[in-house]
Structure 1
Amino acid sequence: MGAQRYYYVYILASGIGGTLYVGVTNDLFRRIGEHRDKAVAGFTRAYDVERLVYYETHESIDGAIEREKRLKRWRRGWKVQLIEEQNPNWVDLFAGLRP
């Protein structure tokens, strides 16, 4: 058997209380690095959304994608509450990730 693979649902913000972006990936460190480096044209580059304020781990890609879709449908206030339950000061969590 191979090593366990994990999938991540994450929320980025442009700043405290700023614009939010919800995404999913199998390599959180790499993907957040891409957002921070503005490597891909799109929403996060256009709105300068690069602060990792929330993430959760899933054992299946299907579960992660389902959760991402659900979070994208949430009202903004619910997303803010989710972030602030675990990260009340909207600290950028990227520094704590390991490649």
Structure 2
Amino acid sequence: MKRFVYIITDRNRKNLHVGMCTDLLKTLKFYGEMPTLFFDSAQQLNRLVYFEEINTEEQAMDRFKQVSTYTRMQKEKMIRPVNPDWVDLTIGLKHESGQKVRPSVFAGRPSIMPARRAVTF
């Protein structure tokens, strides 16, 4: 069974939390449902910025222990080559797994779209 070692952060990139799981999407959903589990609501962990897929449980546990001991600078050096803009990787995971991805803000909501009217003289 495959395991994932991941790094998740808050919107201000103030905290970097390392974790390990078997189902990454389920774990991220849990973080969303329990926003104050590790920190207060202002520091909600909701942005997946890095993950590794590892084949065996022993290798995953060794890698998790190794990454957990890293300093912040070492974790940032891991993240930057694969995710230089620190974007949330959850959307890509949902797309790959076939889950429905949230549409854009203006799609299907005509009340928000700016109205364009023809000007006649």
TM-score category, normalised to shorter length: 0.7 to 0.9
Distance 1:55 1:44, change over 3 A: farther
C-alpha displacement of 1:18:
2.1
Mapped pair 1:85 → 2:81 = yes
Distance 1:73 1:29, change over 3 A: same
Residue of structure 1 equivalent to 2:65: 69
Count of paired positions = 94
C-alpha displacement of 1:17:
3.2
* Structure with greater Cα Rg: 2
Residue of structure 1 equivalent to 2:2: 6
Distance 1:64 1:94, change over 3 A: same
C-alpha displacement of 1:45:
6.2
C-alpha displacement of 1:15:
2.4
Which amino acid is 1:43 matched to?
Answer: F
Hey, what's the Cα distance between the residues in 2 that align with 1:45 and 1:68?
24
Which amino acid is 1:18 matched to?
Answer: K
Which amino acid is 2:21 matched to?
Answer: T
Mapped pair 1:51 → 2:47 = yes
Q: Could you tell which deviates more after superposition, 84-93 or 43-52?
A: 43-52
The normalised TM-score by structure 1 is 0.84
The normalised TM-score by structure 2 is 0.70
Structure having greater relative contact order (Cα 8 Å, sep ≥ 6): 1
Residue of structure 1 equivalent to 2:20: 24
Q: Name whichever structure is richer in helix by fraction.
A: 1
Q: Which runs of 5+ in 1 are unaligned?
A: none
- Coordinate RMSD, CA, aligned: 1.8
Q: Which runs of 5+ in 2 are unaligned?
A: 100-121
